[in-house]
């Protein structure tokens, strides 16, 4: 029971963070599939998934070979840059300074781009696969998948809960794919900015924690310092969004 | 080749959106790693100083973006 309680925050954070990324990938796959056909769209997506699995299988064992402190520092730095980037964007979006991400608009833009792109000839075209469609879905799955891998490492590695965090991400993936198959439309009602805000806070806190560990700085309260950092980051970011929202008029989505 | 370049560019974009934010964070972390050991500050403060600096950089960057946005609106 206590192990379950210990793993719960990692599972929930990985589930929510991955949900956002899977929704973004699904929007692109749906747009490409609707306009250019499902065969090339799914071929690209599956190739992307295979490349991702290969990257994880190749790089995963390497992580155990690298000395602990440099590894903690390097992963921490990447997580901090990744998390702070998400958090900055989420604050500016929450304040209305940059428009909210709109899956319906992204779907419309992607379908328009796919319609405009001409069918090209090339090695993939000879195999009766539309290369633009294959490359577009391949790229989407690889890029969003790497973000999912980062989220899982961020929330799972510090508390030795990588497996439960991976399960959280897998459930998010299955849920999004299932809904995509059922409704054949982009999932526009996911509160993406709120999720990005929350996950940006978590990843930034974990990134900072790992950098400190890598540099050999002792954290007051040890692992509990992560919780204190989450609270501070959340409070400061929400205050910044409030102040920013008062200073600059809101920008509507699509502007 | 173009696809690989696009993927690499997008991978870079995962970590660096606003270059000044990323640069400031990297410089701050390097300064903490190199400098804090040479100051009379007790070692227990190193980690909190690292965190507070990162948080301050984020908030400063957001406020700067707002200032830039406001200046753009005044120019219009």
pLDDT in tens, A54-90: 887 777 677 667 787 888 888 889 889 988 998 999 8
- Report pLDDT digits (tens) over A1-32: 456 656 777 788 788 888 888 888 888 898 88
pLDDT of residue A249: 60
Please tell me the distance from the alpha carbon of residue B16 to that of residue B8, in angstroms, as a whole number: 12
Query: In angstroms, rounded to a whole number, what is the distance separating the alpha carbons of residues A39 and A179?
Result: 19
* pLDDT, tens only, B6-65: 767 777 776 777 788 999 999 999 999 999 888 888 999 999 999 999 999 999 999 888
Among A54, A59, A79, A70, which Cα is nearest to A152's?
A79
Measured in angstroms, the CA of B30 and the nearest CA of chain A are apart by: 10
**Of the candidates A195, A185, A232, A225, the residue with the CA atom closest to the CA atom of residue A209:** A225
* pLDDT on residue A161: 75
Q: Which of A199, A198, A249, A234 is nearest to A96 (CA)?
A: A249
Looking at this predicted complex, what is its ipTM?
Answer: 0.86
CB B36 within 8 A of CB B53: no
Cβ burial, residue A127 (10 Å; 0-12/13-18/19+): exposed
Residue A3 has a pLDDT of 62
pLDDT in tens, A179-203: 888 877 777 666 777 888 888 898 8
Specify the pTM: 0.75
What tens digit of pLDDT does each residue of A142-168 get?
888 888 887 887 777 656 777 888 888
Output the six-digit token pair for A112: 């328009």
Cα A131 to the chain's mean position, in Å?
25
Cβ-based interface (< 8 Å): residues of A facing B? 77-78, 80-82, 84-85, 87-89, 91-92, 95, 97, 135, 138-139, 142-143, 146-147, 150, 204, 208, 211-212, 215, 217-220, 225, 229, 232-233, 236-237, 240, 243-244, 247-249
**Residue numbers in A near B32 (CB within 8 A):** 215, 217
Task: Indicate the length of chain A as a whole number.
Answer: 255
Cβ–Cβ below 8 Å for B51 and A247: no
**Element (H or E) spanning B3, and its range?**
helix B2-15
């Amino acid at each position: 029971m206590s192990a379950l309680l210990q793993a719960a925050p990692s599972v929930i954070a990985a589930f929510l963070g991955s949900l956002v990324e899977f929704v973004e990938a699904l929007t692109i796959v749906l747009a490409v599939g609707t306009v250019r056909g499902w065969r090339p769209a799914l071929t690209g997506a599956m190739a992307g998934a295979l490349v991702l699995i290969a990257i994880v299988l190749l790089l995963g064992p390497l992580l155990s070979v690298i000395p602990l402190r440099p590894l903690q520092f390097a992963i921490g730095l990447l997580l901090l840059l990744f998390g702070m980037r998400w958090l900055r964007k989420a604050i500016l979006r929450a304040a209305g300074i940059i428009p909210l991400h709109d899956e319906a608009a992204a779907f419309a833009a992607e379908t328009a781009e796919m319609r405009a792109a001409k069918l090209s000839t090339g090695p993939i075209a000879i195999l009766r696969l539309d290369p633009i469609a294959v490359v577009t879905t391949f790229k989407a799955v690889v890029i969003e998948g790497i973000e999912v891998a980062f989220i899982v490492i961020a929330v799972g590695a510090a508390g030795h809960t990588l497996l439960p965090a991976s399960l959280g991400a897998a459930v998010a993936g299955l849920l999004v794919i299932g809904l995509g198959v059922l409704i054949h439309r982009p999932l526009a009602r996911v509160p993406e900015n709120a999720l990005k805000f929350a996950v940006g806070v978590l990843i930034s806190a974990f990134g900072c924690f790992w950098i400190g560990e890598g540099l050999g700085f002792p954290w007051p309260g040890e692992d509990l310092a992560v919780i204190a950092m989450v609270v501070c980051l959340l409070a400061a970011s929400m205050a910044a969004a409030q102040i920013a929202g008062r200073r600059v008029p809101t920008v509507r989505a699509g502007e | 080749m173009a696809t690989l370049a696009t993927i690499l560019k997008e991978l870079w974009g995962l970590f660096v959106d606003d270059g000044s934010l990323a640069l400031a964070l990297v410089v701050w972390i390097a300064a903490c790693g190199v400098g804090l050991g040479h100051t009379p500050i007790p070692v227990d403060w190193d980690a909190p100083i690292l965190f507070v600096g990162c948080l301050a950089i984020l908030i400063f960057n957001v406020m700067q973006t707002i200032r830039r946005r406001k200046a753009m609106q005044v120019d219009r």
